[in-house]
Structure 1
């Protein structure tokens, strides 16, 4: 039941934290507004008031969930940071992605991503972020290495696709050692191609 004495912004934050707890524990495949409202001690009307549609709520929860896994928020900053070789930065990003502590976030990410594929209009904003944010950041790192813009963009999308494929393999197999044996030479080959593409 909603409290009449709680400030709206405070109540929204409390609800959001409870929603994130719920979706990290249970996923979103069977998520309904009614069921979620019951799980977090609210009601449909209040969730819609604070978050808009169920789709908007899911996107907001995914963004907030990322904050629970602070190393995930530094990956792109570290990739673009000067000082280390591009291979060291790619390997560092992968080590962060592969950290078992980040698995709950990856499970939620891929579940939301899968649902977004079936509801592209509803999840347009999320698909835009997924499709461009990481690749744009990696492309900037490659351009800073002296790679031409168009080639940097292609190599960046390949990099992100490699990371995501490796993430999915980690989730499906749970075999960290096997995925590491696949990841390290693949990233080394990619870094070598970045070096060869310098103009």
Structure 2
């Protein structure tokens, strides 16, 4: 379905809905009711509940400037260590917690029922790792070393995001990030 004003409107309303209420046990009917539409129109514009929720979660991500732009800042000039540390500051910023909660809810939903979620799982398995590995390659890591280090960093950041939402002291999380970043950089 091509973009249309109605599709954009429904996407925006769905994005608002999932940021407000989450995605856990969100049925197609509940989404349609929540956005003032019906199942038929939602399916017409988005194809499936999974496609709608995946697209809405990407739209939600774009509403959080520190998240949306963090890999642009990582790829900018300046000391690599400082840029890697700043990624964590971007991820853990309190204004991003609504998106982090949504991400982990969606991840839990996908792990419970993986059918139809391949776009989401492909994106979370590759997007951040690829972006981080590219920066590391430009900064002197060989291809394999960059990929391995990127997986370690993204795995760390995902785990620290989870701990952020559970209330672990931000200074402890910052220290864990710094120690891992420094260890990774010694392998360059």
The alignment's TM-score, normalised by the length of structure 1, stands at 0.88
Q: Deviations over 1:90-117 (max 9, x none)?
A: 0111110011001111111111122222
Distance 1:174 1:27, change over 3 A: farther
| Deviation, structure 1 residue 119 | 3.0
Q: Deviations over 1:54-93 (max 9, x none)?
A: 0101101111001110221111122122x21110110111
User: Residues 170-181 of structure 1 correspond to what in structure 2 (within 5 A)?
Assistant: 170-173=164-167, 175-181=169-175
> How far apart in 1 are the matches of 2:168 and 2:106?
20
RMSD: 1.5
Q: 5+ unaligned residues in a row in structure 1: which ranges?
A: 1-7
> How far apart in 1 are the matches of 2:123 and 2:25?
24
| Deviation, structure 1 residue 47 | 0.7
- 2:155 corresponds in structure 1 to 161
Segments ≥4 residues shifted beyond 4 Å: none
Give the match's secondary structure for 1:111: helix
- 1:33 corresponds in structure 2 to 28
- 2:54 corresponds in structure 1 to 59
Give the match's secondary structure for 1:28: coil
| Deviation, structure 1 residue 174 | 5.2
| Deviation, structure 1 residue 189 | 2.4
Using the TM superposition, name which of 64-73 and 110-119 deviates more.
110-119
Greater Rg, structure 1 or structure 2?
Answer: 1
- 1:114 corresponds in structure 2 to 108
| Deviation, structure 1 residue 190 | 2.4
User: Residues 74-85 of structure 1 correspond to what in structure 2 (within 5 A)?
Assistant: 74-81=69-76, 83-85=77-79
Q: Is the 8 A contact 2:153 2:180 kept in 1?
A: no
| Deviation, structure 1 residue 175 | 3.1
> How far apart in 1 are the matches of 2:134 and 2:109?
29
> How far apart in 2 are the matches of 1:115 and 1:191?
35
> How many residues are matched?
186
The alignment's TM-score, normalised by the length of structure 2, stands at 0.93
